[in-house]
C-alpha cells in the first residue's frame, strides 16, 4: 500500500458517497430521528474562506456521531439565494442575477463536498427557485388572510372575522394592532358596504397589511434597507447616503406574537445571551398611555407611553420624533427654518445610529406647547433624533430629574429640572431614577409611595379620558417590502387601488424578465420595467419584492419534504421530524432570522400546520475564526532626481518604499546605538535601490535622500497573507502582486528578510487575510482541515487562525495511518487478542469522545485521539480489536481516512453504517495501584499493591516488609497512615 495520500482518498470517497447516496435520510424510518441543521449560506462570489466551515464541521461531526448511535439523521444543506449583492452585480454588468447566483452556488457546492460533509443533497433547497418560493408566497397569503384574535390568543381566518362583522358588526372584536386605525361599524353598516370598503375595513386587522411606514431609503440603490444594512448613515453595500422616508410598505404583524415569543424563550436550550437579546428586542413593559392636549390645535393631542407615570409632575418638556406627523402642524413660523433643517439632517441618519449615539445632544424647539394633563401646566414641545417615529407613539414625556438622557437634554437647552421624590439626590449633577421615598411637587400624589401613586394617577387619567394603563412592547411590526428585483414577488394585485391576494392556484408568481435591474425613471421598483406583467392581463401586481429573510424563515420545514408539489411539507414528514434538534449558526441572527422564524412557526402552528412548541430546540452559536493579518510598513521619503526622457510613469521611477517591521521597531523604540545602526542600514539600502533604479531608468539621475527620521511614522498597510509565511514576506511575489509595487523598495533585516507585522482581526477580503480552504485541502487534505478547525479551541469561542498549525494535525493523521500500514508498507493488522493496556486506551477514548460530542467539546476530542495514537504507537499496537473500533470513533472527525481504513479492514459498506463502540468500564479499572512510601512525610520509594487491597492489608504488608528496617533508622513505628489510592506515610 502506498503512503497516506489524502487528496486521492478524499476524492474517491466523496464520489462513493454521492454515487451511493450514503447520507440519504428517510421520512418513514423506524429509527429514532435526529435533525441537525446549519444556518444556510448566502452564496457570494468569493466562495468559502476557512472561517465559514467551522459550524458546518461541528454539525457534521454531530450528524455522523448520531448515525453511529443508530439514529435516522436529517442533515440538509441549501442556499439563501435571493439578495442585494447579486442584484447590484446585475445592475453593474447587465447579467441576470440568476446566472450569477447559479455560478456562486456551484462554487459553494464544490467546496462543501470536498470538505466531506454528510449532507443529504437530494434535499437541497434554494430560496430563489420558483418551486420553493411558491410556498413562501403561499405562507404570505395565509398571513394576509388571517387576523389575530386576542380573545383566543391565536391567528384566525379573516373570512371568519368578516362573518362576525356581517352578524354583529365590529363590536366585541378584540384584535392585535392599533385600535385607532379601525373604525367602528354595525352589522347593517358592514352589510351595506361595497367590496372595496369591506377590504379597506379588513386591512387594519390582517397579519400582512399595507401602511405608510418610515423606512431606510437609499436613492442610489433605489431600495429600502434594513437597519443591519445601514452604518453611519450610509448603505453597507456601496457606502451610499441613506435617509428616513415615509413610504407605503407591506408589514407583518409580528407584534401580535410578542408575548408568546417572549414566553417561549424560557423552554429553549439556547445561549443565555441570545435569549436575553430577544427579550430586550421584544421589550415588554407595563406602563400607561397618556394624552397631552395641545391648546392651540384642537384634536392635535400628543400621546406618550411611559413606564413611569408616577413622575408626570416632573415632565418639563415633550420630545417628538422629527418624523412625527404633527411636526408640520405644531411648528410655529418663527421656528420653521430651524425645524426643517433639523428634520432634513435626521433623515440622513439610520435608526440604529440615532439610538446608539448617547454622547451627542441635539434637538430643536417647535415653538408650540402642550398641557400637562394632571395640572394643566404648559409643556414645551421639542424635537430630538433619539426619539423614533416607529417606536411607541413617537413621543416622549421628558422627566429630566429621573432620566439621564432627558437630564442631558434639559441641561444642554437650559430647561427646568423638577424633583419629584424626597429620595432623589445630587440632581445638580445627574438624574436619579429611584422609585424610593415619597412624592413631592406632585399634586394629588404628594406623600404617597410608588405603587399607590401609580395606581392613583392611572385611575385619575382614565376618569378624565386622558390616559389608561397599558402593556407595551419595543418590538415593531416587520417591514416586508423591498424595492428590488432579486427577491420573491409579493402575490398581491390591485383592483381599483384595493389590494387582493392572488388565488393559491396561480402560485408561484414568477419573477418576470426585465431589461434593466434599476428602478424606473419615474421611481418605481425594478419590477415596474416588466412588460405586460399584469394579473389577468389588466390588474397591476405589487412591484415590491419580499425581504431576504422571507425564504429563510421556514426553510427548515421544506427540508423535511423538499419535492412535495402539493403541500409546503407533508403532515407525515412534519410529524416525524418535528423540531430541529440542533441548530448551528452565528449569533448575529439573534434578533433577525431567529425571531422571524419563531414568528412564522407560531403562526403556522395556529393554523394547525405544525405541531411542536418551537422550531429549534437547541441552538449553538459557533465562534468566529479570526484572520491573522499581515502588514507592510510604507515610509515617506524624498528623492532628488533629474528626469531626461519622456514617457515613463513617475510611480515607476519614484516607487513606494516599505520597511521591515523589525527595522521599524529598531528605529522607533530601540536604544540610541540600535537606532543609529538601523538608520545607517536604511541609508545603505536606499543607496542600493538608487543604483538598481538607475539601471532600470537610464534617463533618470538620482540623488537619494531617503526618509526623514525626525518625522518617521510608517503607515501600516494590509498585505495578502498568501505572500507571507511565518511572517516573512515573499518579496518577489509582493512586487508582482500589483502594478504599483513592481519596483517597490523593500528595506529588509540584515539577513535580507522582510518581516511583516501581525494583527488578529476579522477575516475579510479588504484585509487580505482570507485563507481559501481549497489551497489547504490541496496541500494537507480535508480531514486535516476539519480536525484543525476543531482543535483550535472551544466551538463557541473566537479563535485566531494560523495556517502553520495545520501541519501538526496532518502529522497526527499520518501517525494514525501507520498504525495500520507501518512504514507505509502492507496492511499489518492482526487478529491477536488485545492486552489490558491496549483495551484501557481504547475504552478511555470511547468514553471521552462520547462525552465530548454530547457536550460539543470537539477540541478536547481531537486531543484525546492524539494522546491515544501516541500511546498505541508506543505499545506497538496492530490489533483489529483495538484499531477497528478506534477507526469508528475517529470517523465523524476524519471521514475520508477512516472510510479508506474501514474498507482495508474488509468491510464492504460505508463506515457510516457502523455502530458506536460499546464502553466497558471494567477495562479502565486498574489491577494494581502504585503507592509512594514515606517516612515522616519524606518519600523513600514506591511499591505496587492490588487495587482491591484495604488500608489494613497495606499497613500489614508494610510492617512485614523490610521498608521500616531500611529507612526508620531503628526508631519504633508509632503509626502507619494509608491514604487509599494515594500514598502511605510511616510515622516513627
| 108-112, 256-260, 556-560, 651-655: least confidently modelled range | 651-655
For 306-364, the pLDDT digits (tens) are 999 999 999 999 999 998 989 999 999 999 999 999 998 887 776 767 776 667 899 99
Q: Using pLDDT thresholds of 50, 70 and 90, give the confidence band for residue 236.
A: confident
Rounded Cα–Cα distance for residues 139 and 161 (Å): 19
Q: Using pLDDT thresholds of 50, 70 and 90, give the confidence band for residue 968.
A: confident
Assess whether 892 and 942 both reside in one domain: no
Any domain includes 719: yes
Sheet containing strand 223-225, edge to edge, reads 223-225, 208-218, 243-252, 478-479
- DSSP tally for the chain: helices H, then strands E: 32, 37
pTM of the predicted model as reported, rounded to 2 decimal places: 0.83
User: Annotated binding site, which residues?
Assistant: 765
Instruction: Provide the sign of the torsion angle of the four alpha carbons 963, 966, 972, 977, taken in this order.
Output: negative
Assess whether 350 and 439 both reside in one domain: yes
Q: Is 580 left (phi over 0), alpha (psi -120 to 50) or beta?
A: beta
Assess whether 445 and 321 both reside in one domain: yes
Q: The CATH number of the domain where 334 resides is what?
A: 3.90.740.10
The DSSP element (H or E) to which 642 belongs, if any, is strand 638-643
What are the two backbone dihedrals, phi and then psi, of residue 943, each rounded to the nearest 5 degrees?
A: -150, 145
Assess whether 303 and 450 both reside in one domain: yes
Task: Please say if the pLDDT value at position 823 is more than 90.
Answer: no
Q: What is the dihedral of CA 289, 294, 297, 299, to 10 degrees?
A: 20
Rounded Cα–Cα distance for residues 561 and 123 (Å): 8
Q: The CATH number of the domain where 974 resides is what?
A: 3.10.20.590
Q: Are 528 and 541 in contact (CB under 8 A)?
A: no
Question: Pick from 887, 914, 910: which is nearest to 898 by CA?
Answer: 887
Rounded Cα–Cα distance for residues 970 and 973 (Å): 9
Determine whether 789 is exposed, middle or buried from the number of CB atoms within 10 Å of its CB (0-12, 13-18, 19+): buried
Any domain includes 515: no
Assess whether 758 and 885 both reside in one domain: no
Any domain includes 981: yes
Q: Using pLDDT thresholds of 50, 70 and 90, give the confidence band for residue 690.
A: confident
Rounded Cα–Cα distance for residues 961 and 965 (Å): 8
Assess whether 876 and 976 both reside in one domain: no
Cis peptide, bond prior to residue 508, ω within 30 of zero: yes
Assess whether 937 and 981 both reside in one domain: yes
For 885-937, the pLDDT digits (tens) are 999 999 999 999 999 999 999 999 999 999 999 999 989 887 778 899 999 99
Rounded Cα–Cα distance for residues 937 and 910 (Å): 58
| 69-78, 295-304, 674-683, 735-744: least confidently modelled range | 295-304
Mean pLDDT of the chain: 92
Q: The CATH number of the domain where 900 resides is what?
A: 1.10.730.10
Any domain includes 656: yes
**Domain stops at, among 473, 495, 512:** 473
Question: Pick from 773, 756, 748: which is nearest to 721 by CA?
Answer: 756
Rounded Cα–Cα distance for residues 115 and 125 (Å): 20
Assess whether 917 and 935 both reside in one domain: no
DSSP per residue over 288-312, as a string?
Answer: EEEEE--TTSTT--EEEEES-GGGG
Residues 6+ apart with CB under 8 A from 769: 627, 628, 629, 630, 718, 721, 761, 763
Rounded Cα–Cα distance for residues 114 and 782 (Å): 7
Any domain includes 20: no
Any domain includes 665: yes
DSSP per residue over 858-903, as a string?
Answer: HHHHHHHHHHHHHHHHHHT--BHHHHHHHHHHHTTTSHHHHHHHHH
pLDDT of residue 161: 97
Rounded Cα–Cα distance for residues 957 and 955 (Å): 5
Q: Are 286 and 307 in contact (CB under 8 A)?
A: yes
Any domain includes 62: no
Q: Which of 131-140, 388-397, 514-523, 671-680 has the highest mean pLDDT?
A: 131-140
Assess whether 971 and 827 both reside in one domain: no
Assess whether 228 and 293 both reside in one domain: no
For 692-732, the pLDDT digits (tens) are 888 888 877 777 778 888 888 899 999 999 999 989 999 99
User: Annotated binding site for ATP, which residues?
Assistant: 765
Owner of C-alpha cell 405544525: 610
**Domain stops at, among 921, 950, 968:** 921
Tell me 855's DSSP state.
T
Number of domains, the chain: 5
The DSSP element (H or E) to which 285 belongs, if any, is strand 284-292
Q: Using pLDDT thresholds of 50, 70 and 90, give the confidence band for residue 590.
A: confident
Assess whether 647 and 754 both reside in one domain: yes
**Domain stops at, among 418, 442, 473:** 473
Any domain includes 92: no
Assess whether 305 and 451 both reside in one domain: yes
Q: Which domain covers residue 875, as residue numbers?
A: 814-921
Amino acid at each position: 500500500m502506498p503512503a497516506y495520500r489524502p487528496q486521492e482518498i478524499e476524492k474517491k470517497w466523496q464520489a462513493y458517497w454521492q454515487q451511493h447516496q450514503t447520507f440519504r435520510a428517510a421520512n418513514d424510518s423506524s429509527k429514532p430521528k435526529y435533525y441537525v441543521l446549519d444556518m444556510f449560506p448566502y452564496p457570494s462570489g468569493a466562495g468559502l474562506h476557512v472561517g465559514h466551515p467551522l459550524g458546518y464541521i461541528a454539525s457534521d461531526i454531530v450528524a455522523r456521531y448520531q448515525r453511529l448511535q443508530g439514529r435516522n439523521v436529517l442533515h440538509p444543506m441549501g442556499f439563501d439565494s435571493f439578495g442585494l449583492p447579486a442584484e447590484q452585480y446585475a445592475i453593474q454588468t447587465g447579467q441576470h442575477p440568476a446566472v450569477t447566483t447559479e455560478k456562486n452556488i456551484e462554487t459553494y457546492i464544490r467546496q462543501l463536498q470536498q470538505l466531506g460533509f454528510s449532507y443529504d443533497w437530494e434535499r437541497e433547497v434554494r430560496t430563489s427557485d420558483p418551486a420553493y418560493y411558491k410556498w413562501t408566497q403561499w405562507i404570505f397569503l395565509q398571513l394576509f388572510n388571517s387576523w389575530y384574535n386576542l380573545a383566543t390568543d391565536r391567528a384566525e381566518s379573516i373570512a371568519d372575522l368578516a362573518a362576525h362583522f356581517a352578524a354583529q358588526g365590529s363590536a366585541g372584536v378584540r384584535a392585535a394592532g392599533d385600535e385607532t386605525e379601525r373604525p367602528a361599524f354595525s352589522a347593517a353598516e358592514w352589510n351595506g358596504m361595497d367590496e372595496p370598503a369591506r377590504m379597506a375595513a379588513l386591512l387594519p386587522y390582517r397579519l400582512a397589511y399595507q401602511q405608510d411606514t418610515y423606512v431606510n431609503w437609499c436613492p442610489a440603490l433605489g431600495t429600502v434597507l434594513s437597519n443591519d444594512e445601514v452604518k453611519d448613515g450610509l448603505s453597507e453595500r456601496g457606502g451610499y447616503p441613506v435617509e428616513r422616508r415615509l413610504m407605503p410598505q407591506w408589514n407583518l404583524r409580528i407584534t401580535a406574537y410578542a408575548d408568546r415569543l417572549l414566553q417561549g424563550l424560557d423552554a429553549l436550550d439556547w445561549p443565555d445571551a441570545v435569549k436575553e437579546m430577544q427579550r430586550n428586542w421584544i421589550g415588554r413593559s407595563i406602563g400607561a398611555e397618556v394624552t397631552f392636549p395641545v391648546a392651540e390645535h384642537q384634536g392635535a393631542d400628543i400621546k406618550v407611553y411611559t413606564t413611569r407615570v408616577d413622575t408626570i409632575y416632573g415632565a418639563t418638556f415633550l420630545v417628538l420624533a422629527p418624523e412625527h406627523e404633527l411636526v408640520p402642524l405644531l411648528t410655529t413660523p418663527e421656528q420653521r427654518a430651524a425645524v426643517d433643517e433639523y428634520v432634513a439632517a435626521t433623515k440622513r441618519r439610520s435608526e440604529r445610529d440615532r439610538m446608539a449615539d448617547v454622547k451627542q445632544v441635539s434637538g430643536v424647539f417647535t415653538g408650540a406647547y402642550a398641557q400637562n394633563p394632571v395640572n394643566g401646566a404648559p409643556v414645551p414641545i421639542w424635537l430630538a433624533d433619539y426619539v423614533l417615529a416607529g417606536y411607541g407613539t413617537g413621543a416622549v414625556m421628558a422627566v429630566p430629574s429621573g432620566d439621564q438622557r432627558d437630564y442631558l437634554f434639559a441641561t444642554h437647552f437650559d430647561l427646568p429640572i423638577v424633583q419629584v421624590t424626597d429620595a432623589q439626590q445630587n440632581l445638580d449633577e445627574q438624574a436619579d431614577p429611584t422609585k424610593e421615598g415619597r412624592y413631592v411637587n406632585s399634586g394629588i400624589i404628594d406623600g404617597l409611595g410608588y405603587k399607590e401613586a401609580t395606581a392613583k394617577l392611572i385611575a385619575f387619567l382614565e376618569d378624565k379620558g386622558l390616559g389608561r394603563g397599558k402593556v407595551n412592547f419595543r418590538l415593531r411590526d416587520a417591514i416586508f417590502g423591498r424595492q428590488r428585483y432579486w427577491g420573491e414577488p409579493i402575490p398581491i394585485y390591485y383592483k381599483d387601488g384595493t389590494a387582493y391576494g392572488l388565488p393559491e392556484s396561480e402560485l408561484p408568481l414568477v419573477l418576470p424578465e426585465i431589461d434593466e435591474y434599476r428602478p424606473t425613471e419615474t421611481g418605481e421598483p425594478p419590477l415596474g420595467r416588466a412588460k405586460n406583467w399584469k394579473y389577468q392581463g389588466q390588474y397591476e401586481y405589487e412591484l415590491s419584492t419580499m425581504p431576504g429573510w422571507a425564504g429563510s424563515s421556514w426553510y427548515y420545514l421544506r427540508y423535511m419534504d423538499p419535492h412535495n408539489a402539493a403541500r409546503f411539507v407533508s403532515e407525515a414528514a412534519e410529524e416525524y421530524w418535528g423540531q430541529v434538534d440542533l441548530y448551528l449558526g452565528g449569533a448575529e441572527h439573534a434578533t433577525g432570522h431567529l425571531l422571524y422564524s419563531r414568528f412564522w412557526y407560531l403562526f403556522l402552528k395556529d393554523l394547525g400546520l405544525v405541531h411542536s412548541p418551537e422550531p429549534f430546540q437547541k441552538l449553538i452559536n459557533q465562534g468566529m475564526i479570526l484572520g491573522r493579518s499581515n502588514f507592510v510598513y510604507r515610509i515617506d521619503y524624498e528623492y532628488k532626481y533629474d528626469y531626461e526622457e519622456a514617457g515613463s510613469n513617475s510611480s515607476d521611477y519614484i516607487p513606494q518604499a516599505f520597511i521591515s517591521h523589525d527595522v521599524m521597531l529598531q528605529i522607533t523604540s530601540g536604544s540610541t546605538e540600535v537606532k543609529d545602526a538601523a538608520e545607517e542600514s536604511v541609508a545603505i539600502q536606499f543607496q542600493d535601490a538608487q543604483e538598481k533604479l538607475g539601471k532600470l531608468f537610464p534617463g533618470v539621475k538620482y540623488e537619494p535622500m531617503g526618509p526623514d527620521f525626525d518625522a518617521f511614522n510608517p503607515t501600516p498597510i494590509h498585505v495578502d497573507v498568501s505572500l507571507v509565511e511565518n511572517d516573512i514576506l515573499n518579496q518577489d511575489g509582493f512586487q508582482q502582486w500589483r502594478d504599483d509595487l513592481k519596483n517597490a523598495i523593500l528595506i529588509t533585516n540584515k539577513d535580507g528578510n522582510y518581516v511583516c507585522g501581525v494583527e488578529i482581526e476579522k477575516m475579510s477580503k479588504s484585509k487580505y487575510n482570507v485563507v481559501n480552504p481549497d489551497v489547504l485541502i490541496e496541500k494537507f487534505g480535508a480531514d486535516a482541515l476539519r480536525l484543525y478547525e476543531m482543535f483550535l479551541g472551544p466551538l463557541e469561542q473566537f479563535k485566531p487562525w494560523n495556517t502553520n498549525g495545520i501541519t501538526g494535525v496532518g502529522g497526527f493523521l499520518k501517525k494514525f495511518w501507520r498504525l495500520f500500514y507501518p512504514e507505509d508498507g502492507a496492511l499489518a493488522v492482526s487478529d491477536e487478542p488485545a492486552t489490558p493496556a491496549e483495551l484501557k486506551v481504547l475504552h478511555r477514548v470511547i468514553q471521552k469522545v462520547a462525552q465530548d460530542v454530547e457536550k460539543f467539546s470537539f477540541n478536547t476530542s481531537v486531543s484525546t485521539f492524539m494522546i491515544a495514537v501516541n500511546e498505541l504507537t508506543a505499545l506497538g499496537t496492530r490489533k483489529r480489536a483495538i484499531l477497528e473500533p478506534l477507526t469508528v470513533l475517529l470517523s465523524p472527525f476524519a471521514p475520508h481516512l477512516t472510510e479508506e481504513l474501514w474498507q482495508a479492514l474488509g468491510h464492504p459498506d460505508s463506515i457510516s453504517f457502523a455502530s458506536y463502540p460499546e464502553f466497558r468500564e471494567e477495562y479502565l479499572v486498574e489491577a494494581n495501584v502504585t503507592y509512594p512510601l514515606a517516612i515522616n512525610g519524606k518519600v523513600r520509594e514506591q511499591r505496587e499493591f492490588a487495587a482491591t487491597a484495604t488500608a489494613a492489608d497495606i499497613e500489614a504488608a508494610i510492617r512485614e516488609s523490610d521498608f521500616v528496617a531500611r529507612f526508620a533508622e531503628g526508631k519504633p513505628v508509632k503509626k502507619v497512615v494509608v491514604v487509599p489510592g494515594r500514598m502511605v506515610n510511616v510515622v516513627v
